[in-house]
Amino acid sequence: GAVVSQHPSRVICKSGTSVKIECRSLDFQATTMFWYRQFPKQSLMLMATSNEGSKATYEQGVEKDKFLINHASLTLSTLTVTSAHPEDSSFYICSARQGGNNQPQHFGDGTRLSIL
Amino acid sequence: DAKTTQPTSMDCAEGRAANLPCNHSTISGNEYVYWYRQIHSQGPQYIIHGLKNNETNEMASLIITEDRKSSTLILPHATLRDTAVYYCIVRVMGSARQLTFGSGTQLTVLP
């Protein structure tokens, strides 16, 4: 149980395009999902917290107009990187918590985004 | 959430037990210890968590000292597929906040 599916696993696109990444909790409902970013040889950094039915909460330094988050249902959150540039190339990982706050977070397998 | 300290890297022979230490000397009574690992180019994988009692599951054992200031994750029979970065994370009980990742320990299992 507690499977988080992320799609696509890899994206390569031209500078200026927008890219949408989907995160689904397959066998549980998640009122809260988290989006992380990881640069090479670095640890995961939280970008935003996605709450079902309300606006996402962004971490300091993360542009909400560039990284659009939608959490329209209890099993789906999407991250759209708008007008992507080479510096946005990174490994994006979503996470969801099954059940109460003391339960562990489960992570998707990540999306490798490469902007040319 | 309390800060954790882990060694940067460790090696372990295949088939032997891997013991990964973590110091969390400022841990509070209402904070859990969580362990995750991240295999290269994959998302983090939950391993185990505990409050004060030792815990065991199909993946690993978690030993927490009586004063709760440190813990050890034990992989009883390490395989090559256990090579990964292992993260020890302390988190307040009942908190709705996300997990915060440190640098972790790069465990390399050697053939």
| pLDDT tens, position by position, B6-27 | 999 999 999 999 999 999 999 9
For residue A26, the model assigns a pLDDT of: 92
pLDDT at position A31 is: 82
Per residue in A30-61, pLDDT (tens digit) is 888 999 999 998 999 999 998 888 889 999 99
Q: What are the distances in angstroms from CA B16 to CA B76, B88, B110, B111?
A: 7, 21, 10, 11
State how far the Cα of B104 lies from the Cα of A85, in Å rounded to an integer: 29
Q: Please identify every stretch of chain A with a pLDDT value under 50, giving residue numbers as ranges.
A: none
Give the pLDDT confidence score for residue B91 in this predicted structure: 87
What pLDDT does A61 receive?
Answer: 93
pLDDT at B45: 94
Query: What are the chain B neighbours of A6 within 8 Å (beta carbons)?
Result: 43
* pLDDT number for residue A101: 72
Average pLDDT, stretch B53-62?
96
Q: Residue B111: is its pLDDT beyond 80?
A: yes
Q: Enumerate chain A positions whose Cβ falls within 8 A of a Cβ in B.
A: 2, 4, 6, 32, 34, 36, 43-46, 49, 91, 93, 95, 100-102, 104-110, 112
In angstroms, the separation between the Cα of residue B17 and the nearest Cα of chain A is 25
- What pLDDT is attached to residue A104? 81
Is A34 within 8 Å of A94 (Cβ atoms)? yes
Is B94 a residue whose pLDDT tops 90?
no
| Contact between B42 and A110 using a beta-carbon 8 Å cutoff | yes
β-strand pairing of B105-110 with B9-13: parallel
Query: How far away is chain A from the Cα of B15, in angstroms, using its nearest Cα?
Result: 27
User: Are the Cβ atoms of B43 and A110 closer than 8 angstroms?
Assistant: yes
